[in-house]
Structure 1
Amino acid sequence: MVRRSKSMERTIKEGNEYLQRMEQVDRARQRNQNGQKRQRELRGAQEQKKQKESPKKIVQQKQVQVKREKQEKQQKKTKDDLKKQSQISISKSSRKIEKKTPIQLQKGQKNDLIKQNVQTQLQPEKRKSNNEMEVEKKTEKIVAKKQEMKIEKSIPKPQQQQQQQPKQGPRKTKSNISAASDANQPSIGMVDCVFVVDTTGSMDVYLERTTDAVEMLVERIKQQSKNEQVSVRFGLVCYRDHPPQELTYVTELHDLCSNREILKAIQKSDCSGGGDGAEAVLDGLNVAAQQISWRDSSKIPSLRYIFHICDQPPHGKEFGGYSELWDQTGCPCGLKPDQIIHRINMRQIHYRLIKADPTRLEKFADYFRGKVVNYDEVTLENGVADGMEIKISDMVIRELCPDILLD
């Protein structure tokens, strides 16, 4: 038997440990190589998908650019046409005024013209008696008075000239429905109610419920306004999403009108598109706050309401909505939620949120609930917003006509 020394045993142990380490290193290298191969394969597959999808996106982007160019051309044409029409109307009105305004005569010139006309008309051919001379003087006075009246009528007054000038300037608000006129307003007050509705594909399940809720709200508000003699007008703003997620429209405006016209508009609306989970919520609220022709409340007291029916939040992480393109940056139009809330508060608009899907709108409701001055919310249940019905039926008496309750 060969006896091993301690030094030999140490060297053998160290050799075995070294061999084990080398085996571990080789295994790690193989794992890294396999992982790199898998990553390369995944990248290649992703690049192939992008190459397949890129022509579709390019086509969509081209379509969006073509639509924008057409809209810009139409806007330029309309502006040029309005400028030409205004210039033509001004020139025509000035020509009419020049034709109608004769030269203003002084008192001495008027008398000279009257005398000349009288002398030409009354030239005596023979000498007449005293009685005949008196008759002629009377006739001269009568003729002179008649001619003075004619000259005064022919000279127009400055007020009449101002009335003849046409009113200039196009209408600011553009809508599918004619805006409401304030000619036949009652003496008590007026209420403007605007429905902001999400019309993307996810709302197709709730389409019947939303139409029923809008019809119920319109009828109840109209009944209360009849009993209290209050003028009520209704508006509608439909919104979807930004391209390339949606190519039909971002927002669609129906300005203030009667209850019949707004019911026709909500019945014609449909739900489609939308792309990702988050929608153009801030765009719809911004159009409702700024572009609706809210009636003036300086002379007659008025109430302003926005009823927001939706199931998805706007773009942005703070609201918890899923967005493929704008999850980090928020709304692609650049609008911030605080800007919308400030505009709603400055215009003294009562904001009412009707939630079709309460679970997805928790963060959005919490954000608006803490910052909007006059806020309320309710869930859309079985086509009837029960909680909102009671509050709307009492709003005209409590907020607009407090003197009636005191009596």
Structure 2
Amino acid sequence: MSKWFCYSKNNANTQSSNSTSTSSVSSSLAYDLDNLNITQERLKRYADEANTLSSETSDTTLTANTEDDLKTKTIFLREKAISKTLNKIKLSMKVDLCFVLDCTGSMESHIAAAKDCISHVLNYIIRTNSNIKLRVGFCGYRDHNDKGDRLQFLDFTDKYEQFTTYMHKVKSVSSSNNDRPEDVLGGLDAAITQMDWQNSTRVLFHIGDCPPHGRRFTTLRDNYPDGDPNGLTAENVLEKMQSKNIFYFFGKITDKTDKMLEIFRGIIVPLEATPKKYIL
């Protein structure tokens, strides 16, 4: 049997191998832990979580009639809880990351910085989290009168050079419309419904400088003051996002999106209260 140290809330120090707070774990689990190359501090946290899970585990046929039986049962429950936790860790390290970017003319002065931000985020994850199995994708949006150029996609890929090459070709496009809102809801909806989300951890990183169409989002000049002409609403788009367990992050550029963020938060917070469904 290999040893795997356990973190105690009452003592933050690592115990010696003969300490009672050190748990025996099967060699296969120890190999998995070593293979994941998790830092000591994170292992302590996961061990503590495993202790909590153990107390909730009841589906075992072991009985505890003697002290030895009790020890055996305790080890069994601990290993079972650790195994479950380890599987969750492995799943959480498989990530789909989709960048959604406003590619309209108003972004011309920001597009290079936005693409640079995307590149930095991607490179940081690859460089500092080598155990993460990452797929990246892209969805760019413009406005309704841009027709064929309204949306552009690169579906999820683990070929990072291909993604980087694609991003170099992404450009802002000036359209003939004279309003400021953009097809934000269409871009988000397309990223949610048309991208091939597969991994257990799903993140959508949105960068834009203008709000969606509709009076509820802005007092700026708007060719679609009644809202999205295709019938999309913030509610149904964010509910789709929540149903796919996608975490949402927004990169703010201007104050024009403040009202949008306020409305999004008002929708997202109640959704977070829905049992077993989470969104950021």
Q: Same fold (TM over 0.5)?
A: yes
Is 1:260 aligned to 2:161, yes or no?
A: yes
Is 1:230 aligned to 2:126, yes or no?
A: no
CA contact (8 A) 1:225 1:232 kept: no
CA contact (8 A) 1:311 1:360 kept: yes
**Deviation of the 1:230 alpha carbon:** 2.0
State the percentage of identical aligned residues.
Answer: 28
Deviation per residue, 1:224-267 (Å, 9 max, x gap): 331xx221000000000012xx2442211110013222211111
Question: 1:217 corresponds to which residue?
Answer: 121
Is 1:364 aligned to 2:257, yes or no?
A: no
Once residues 203 and 228 of structure 2 are traced to their aligned partners in structure 1, the CA distance between those partners, rounded to angstroms, is 24
Q: Give secondary structure in 1 for the equivalent of 2:149.
A: coil
Q: Which deviates further from its counterpart, 333-342 or 364-373?
A: 364-373
Q: How many residues align?
A: 179
Is 1:305 aligned to 2:203, yes or no?
A: yes
Correspondence 1:339-350 to 2 at 5 A: 339-350=236-247
Deviation per residue, 1:38-82 (Å, 9 max, x gap): xxxxxxxxxxxxxxxxxxxxxxxxxxxxxxxxxxxxxxxxxxxxx
Once residues 171 and 270 of structure 2 are traced to their aligned partners in structure 1, the CA distance between those partners, rounded to angstroms, is 30
Is 1:326 aligned to 2:224, yes or no?
A: yes
Once residues 321 and 307 of structure 1 are traced to their aligned partners in structure 2, the CA distance between those partners, rounded to angstroms, is 26
Correspondence 1:7-406 to 2 at 5 A: 189-226=93-130, 229-243=131-145, 246-257=146-157, 258-274=159-175, 275=177, 276-296=179-199, 302-320=200-218, 322-327=220-225, 329-357=226-254, 359-372=255-268
Once residues 374 and 268 of structure 1 are traced to their aligned partners in structure 2, the CA distance between those partners, rounded to angstroms, is 39
Q: Give secondary structure in 2 for the equivalent of 1:334.
A: coil
CA contact (8 A) 1:345 1:373 kept: no
- Equivalent position amino acid for 1:255 in 2: D
Higher helix share: 1
- Equivalent position amino acid for 1:309 in 2: I
TM-score calculated relative to the size of structure 2? 0.60
- Structure 1: tracts of 5 or more residues without a match: 1-185, 297-301, 376-407
- Equivalent position amino acid for 2:174 in 1: G
- Equivalent position amino acid for 1:261 in 2: Q
Once residues 205 and 374 of structure 1 are traced to their aligned partners in structure 2, the CA distance between those partners, rounded to angstroms, is 36
CA contact (8 A) 2:214 2:222 kept: no
Once residues 323 and 284 of structure 1 are traced to their aligned partners in structure 2, the CA distance between those partners, rounded to angstroms, is 20
Deviation per residue, 1:356-396 (Å, 9 max, x gap): 11x10110011112222599xxxxxxxxxxxxxxxxxxxxx
Deviation per residue, 1:301-360 (Å, 9 max, x gap): x21000000000000001105344211x20111111100110111111110000111x10
Greater gyration radius: 1
After the TM superposition, which segments of 4 or more aligned residues of structure 1 sit over 6 Å from their partners? Answer: none
Question: 1:104 corresponds to which residue?
Answer: none
Once residues 321 and 277 of structure 1 are traced to their aligned partners in structure 2, the CA distance between those partners, rounded to angstroms, is 10
Deviation per residue, 1:138-176 (Å, 9 max, x gap): xxxxxxxxxxxxxxxxxxxxxxxxxxxxxxxxxxxxxxx
CA contact (8 A) 2:213 2:222 kept: no
- Structure 2: tracts of 5 or more residues without a match: 1-88, 272-280
**Deviation of the 1:204 alpha carbon:** 0.4
